[in-house]
A and B are shown apart, each in its own frame.
Chain A
Amino acid sequence: MSTTQPMVCWFEECTREMVPLVGGKCSSLGELINAGIRVPPGFAITTRGYYDFMEQAGIMDDLAGLVGSLKADDLKGLETASSEIRQRIEAASFSLQLEDEIAESYRRLSIRSFMPATAVAVRSSATAEDLPGASFAGQQDTYLWIRGIDAVLEHAKRCMSSLYTARAMAYRIRMGFDHREVGISVGVQKMANSFTAGVMFTLNPSNGDRSSIVIDANFGFGESVVSGEVTPDQFRINKVSLEILQRTVSEKTVCYTVDTKTQTSVASEIPEERRNIQSVTDDELIELARMGKQIEQHYGRPMDIEWAIDKDMPRSGNIFILQARPETVWSEKRSEPVSAKARGKTTMDFILSSMMEGKKVS
């Protein structure tokens, strides 16, 4: 690793080319910010920071001994190695230099956020080599409403140790990656104190229709929607006219919010009278759809977007994009031409194809 690369860098300094340094999540947040999208500020602890930590703590040198010659299908052995490595990572300390750099960025973030020891979300940001592994294992660690530098450092280490779950290790062994070559980055982002949050697809995820935008929403932090824990409100919006075409208001029983006494994120029951109320206003939906279009335009492909509406911010400046990634299910499907290949399909396909192709008059 070149020593000129930073151990900590702001999201706005992250670009598309920096995935190996700051991971996919942070680099996409940087790209969004630079495209003029409203994203809560934050910084990334880079993979160089991760390597520095692992080397200083002496874990890097011991990896070979800990992992040994384990096979990908030796689940028991992997579990033992995993828990040992993860314990060592979480018990080790950052070097003073790295700790100071993280803490200094956190201090500046707090000043930017007008909140001493500001609340942040700490998330792992996987690098390219590990992307498939991370996504299949569902081990994209996210810790919400973290306050105070000690807690930030502790959860950053937890995110780093998520690189050594048994499943991620098995995946790397199967793919023939060297454990020491794969790094991880951690994003520390100002926490939006969301009243409502959720996800948005810039196509209809149930049929791939690109003319509509679909928004799922629930009260509180977006995690209840992302995890599928509640049935969220769902809205379908016309991408061109920005009309709300369909609204499904569900009974929402649980949401995640901050307990201001303990300063932690907690699941709380939604009171009876709010359960069946639309969790986001029509104006906000239209503003969201507009932002969704802008993001789709920037990336040139359908996107899967996480958003939040902050309750501490003034209206008109309170809708934030927390993450955006390319939609993968529909946009990678090749659309087959209806005609010509209709042979062997249904009767309707045959009739349609002959109508579209026309008949040759000899």
Chain B
Amino acid sequence: MIVSNWMQPDPITIASDLLLSEAKRILTENNLHALPVVDAGVLRGLVTRNDCLRVAQFVAATQNADEFSFFANRLRVRDVMVRRPATVQMTDTMEHVLEKGRELRIGQFPVMDGDDVVGIISANEIFNLAAHFLGAWERRSGITIGPLLHEPGIVGRIIDLVEEAGADVHAIYPIGCVEPHPPPGQRECKVIVRFHAPDFTAVSAALEAAGFHILESVQGQPQHATDQAVNG
């Protein structure tokens, strides 16, 4: 999973001397989270919807007509934009983006090809990624089992059990129990299984009979094949 396949390409960018009120309008009208600020082809900053809201809140709190007019007519993007924003390269992996966002606690990155802005990753794209992962629109049945030791062969064993119970396995992901970094030697995990099955209870019964502990189970309602676009 490479950033260039998941980003929103050709994002709307703005110049740093644009009025902030105008930037706010662009964000709202296009339902965007952030606008990269580009002057003469060089990324100079990032304006987020959050920044705009905060400014608007400060201005509103003054209840002062002159402050309103300053906001509407004089406050520029470069007064408010974050300088040297964190970015990712289009050749980075999505894992790298997720890790960086978690670490910095930010939700949007301009995507760079060298020094040029070629895309953006924001909450919209992260939702899209997660939705693809879980096949959100397929309404799959889901079971989470664990905690268990992540040993070689365990994933295959679970698949066999589920398929023998008559299910059609769509996805299986072991995830760590301890986030984000387990202590060394710690191999305990949970396993998430996504499938379509005519008889959901047969699947969970088979897993329990084999000694697995079920943490969550959700019965899905498969729909007919949807026309969702499939990405990367």
Contacts and interface: CB of A to CB of B under 8 A. Distances in A.
Interface of A: 100-101, 103-104, 107, 110-111, 114-117, 147-150, 260-261, 263
User: What is the interface of chain B mostly: helix, strand, loop, or mixed?
Assistant: helix
Contact of A103 (B20, B70, B71, B78): B78
Which size class do B's interface residues fall under?
20 to 34
A114 B67 CA distance: 12
B79 interface: yes
Interface of B: 20, 54-55, 58-59, 61-62, 64, 66-67, 69-71, 74-76, 78-84
Contacts of A114: 58, 61
Contacts of B70: 117, 147, 263
Contacts of B64: 260
Contacts of B84: 100, 104
A115 B74 contact: no
Nearest to B66: A260
A107 B80 CA distance: 6
A149 B79 contact: yes
Contact of B75 (A117, A260, A261): A117
Contacts of A260: 64, 66-67
The 4 closest A-B pairs by CB, nearest first: A260-B66, A117-B79, A100-B83, A116-B55
Nearest to A149: B79
A214 B61 CA distance: 37
12 contacts: A101-B83, A107-B81, A107-B83, A111-B54, A114-B58, A114-B61, A116-B58, A116-B71, A116-B80, A150-B76, A260-B67, A263-B70
Given A114-B58, A116-B58, A104 B82 contact: yes
A216 B232 CA distance: 72
A148 B79 contact: yes
A139 B26 CA distance: 46
B24 to A, nearest CB: 12
B74 A148 contact: yes
B79 A115 contact: no
Contacts of B66: 260-261, 263
A108 to B, nearest CB: 10
Contact of A148 (B54, B62, B69, B76): B76
A32 B34 CA distance: 39
Nearest to B70: A263
A115 B83 contact: no
Q: Which of B20, B59, B62, B83 has the most CB of A within 10 A?
A: B83
Nearest to B64: A260
A116 B69 CA distance: 13
A111 B76 CA distance: 15
Contacts of B74: 147-148, 263
A103 B75 contact: no
Given A116-B80, A261-B66, A263-B66, 7 more contacts: A103-B78, A104-B84, A110-B79, A117-B70, A117-B75, A147-B74, A148-B79
Contact of B83 (A103, A150, A263): A103
A107 B76 contact: no
Contacts of A101: 83
A150 B83 CA distance: 14
A210 B58 CA distance: 45
Contacts of A261: 66, 69
Nearest to A148: B79
